[in-house]
Each structure stands twice: as C-alpha cells, then as structure tokens.
Amino acid sequence: MALSDGVVRWRVRLTAALGDRIMSENAYSREQILCGLKQTVKVGLSTEAPFDADTRIHNYIMESGCDEDDLEFLNWGIEDVFGIELPPPEWETMLTQGAGSHEEWMERVAPTLTFGWLADEIAGRAKPIPFEPLTFLGRRCVPAGMFCGLTRMAGEINPQVKRFGPSTPILHRLRGRRLSRFWDRLTWMTQDQLPPLRDITRQLHHADVAVLVLAVVNPIFWFWLMTCLPRWHSPAVVATASTCAIFAVPAIFYLGGRAVVTWMADPLPNGITTFRDLAIQLSAYNNEAREGCARLDSQ
C-alpha cells in the first residue's frame, strides 16, 4: 500500500534526526531526555512554556504561574514518561542537596537545578532499550532491530502483553493509556519526529452528546415507571429513584462511555497499523531498510 505524502515527509525528517541515537544501548542523550521532560512538564505542571538545558527549574515554575510546591510532585511524571523509579525520598534528596533552610536552598542549590541537570540525572537512571540492527546471513537488518526494541518496550509498558509478530496490529496489543505511554516514549526517543497520535476529541464529544440525551430521557423513564407501579411510591423508593435518575446513571454512563471510546478508538497515524509498519517508519529509510522489509514479510 502506498504511503501518504505526509508519512513520507516525516520519515525523511526522522532519518536525519535519528542517526544512531535511538539505536544506542549505552545511554539516552540529553536532547532526548529534554524532549521527554517537555511531556512531563506539560502533564505535571499544565504548561507548554519553552525551556532549554540552561533554564533554571525554579525560575521556570514561578514564571509559568505554578506553585513552588508543584516541584515536589514532578517525579510522578518523570517515572511515567521515562519508565524509571524515583521515590519521593530520593527525589527530595536530589532537590534539597543537603540544604538546611529555604534561604540556603535558594542561594546555593536552586541556581544549579537546571533542566540540563535534571536530564543528566534521568539519563543516569534510565535503562536504554537497544534498537541495534540485527544480522541475518551476514547482512544488517535495521527494521528487525527496531522491531525487537519495540517488543521490549511493549513488554515494559504492559508486562502481561501477549507475544506478537511484525504483522500484528498495534491495537491488538496496546490500547488506551498503554498505547499513549508507548507512543509518548517513542516520541521523546525520536526527539519529537514521530507523528503524534490522532486526537479522539470528536469521538469523545459524540459520547458526551449520547450521555446528555440519556440525562434528559432518564428522569422521564423513571417518572413513567413509578406512575405505572404505584406501590413503589414510598419515600425511600422515590428518593432512590430520583438520585439514580438525576445523578448516578448519567455519571456512570459518562465515565463508562468515555472509557470505552478511549479504549476502542483508533488514534494511530495514517500509514501505521502493525508493528512492522512502525519498525519500518523508525528505521532509516534507505536500501538497508527496504531489504529488511522482505525478511519481515516472511515472518
């Protein structure tokens, strides 16, 4: 199947951006970690203000309108985005660095806490997933190495994931929040060159409209039911029915409907359906990758 022009364009950009960085088994680069920190800050601090390696974290938080205490909870986002363990006591030790008072911390420690410092700390804790090319009959196969890396990453995101092959559709193994985490991790590893997942806001709006209709129809149904069954007209029954009609049932359908839509929706970018597609997209689009396609097709 021919790929769209958009997919081809970002594939070319990806080839230039990746080089050997995503394939390294030694450590993630500072640039990769900084891309991941943008995701962490966006979710944890609800801000998309730009920053670089020299930006002081404390100044950034204050200038973004966030509270100083928000810094204490940033480790949760770091754990989620980078797949590392950073318990609160360890995070607190990293931030305070033995300062005995707030004044001492502001004078001695705060100037050293930059996003570059944080990126280096994370890089020292994160265990890189190797994406090195595999060798078949003396020839290197880039997409096969990418696929092996993807299998390991999927296993980290979902330890109960079933084994899969290159032709397995991604949505048969990862959906909802797990798919988002999987994609977010690949996004910062490729330094934002991977096309984002499609927005499912429209599908969520459809679910919200259905719940709104239910919220209008539901009280009418309960009123009709109590009219048909007069023996139910005790105060306890009327109170319970009114609560269900007005609050409980619409709330359950609202939360359940959004969860189902999030789980069932297909947010994958055009041209990417299977793990093989993703492996090819991540590999350098050159003759070596094309030759590897034939090997993956035979699996």
Tell whether 147 and 284 lie within a shared domain.
Answer: yes
**What is the DSSP code (8-state) at residue 134?**
E
Chain-centroid distance, C-alpha 85: 17
Please choose, from the candidates 157, 149, 156, 140, the residue with its C-alpha nearest in 3D space to the C-alpha of residue 190.
149
Tell whether 279 and 135 lie within a shared domain.
Answer: yes
pLDDT at 194: 85
Tell whether 71 and 216 lie within a shared domain.
Answer: no
Most confident of 63-77, 100-114, 223-237: 100-114
Tell whether 292 and 165 lie within a shared domain.
Answer: yes
Q: Is 269 within the bounds of a domain? A: no
Tell whether 249 and 138 lie within a shared domain.
Answer: no
3-state SS assignment for residue 140: strand
Give how many domains the chain has, as a whole number: 3
Q: How far is the C-alpha of 160 from the C-alpha of 173, rounded, in Å?
A: 10
Neighbours of 84 (CB within 10 A): 14
Higher pLDDT pick, 205 / 148: 148
Tell whether 152 and 218 lie within a shared domain.
Answer: no
Tell whether 189 and 280 lie within a shared domain.
Answer: yes
Least confident of 67-76, 96-105, 207-216, 276-285: 207-216
Q: Is 270 within the bounds of a domain? A: no
**Is the pTM above the cut of 0.75?**
no
Tell whether 113 and 229 lie within a shared domain.
Answer: no
Chain-centroid distance, C-alpha 123: 19
pLDDT at 70: 77
163 backbone φψ class: left, alpha, beta (φ>0; ψ -120 to 50):
beta
Tell whether 43 and 94 lie within a shared domain.
Answer: yes
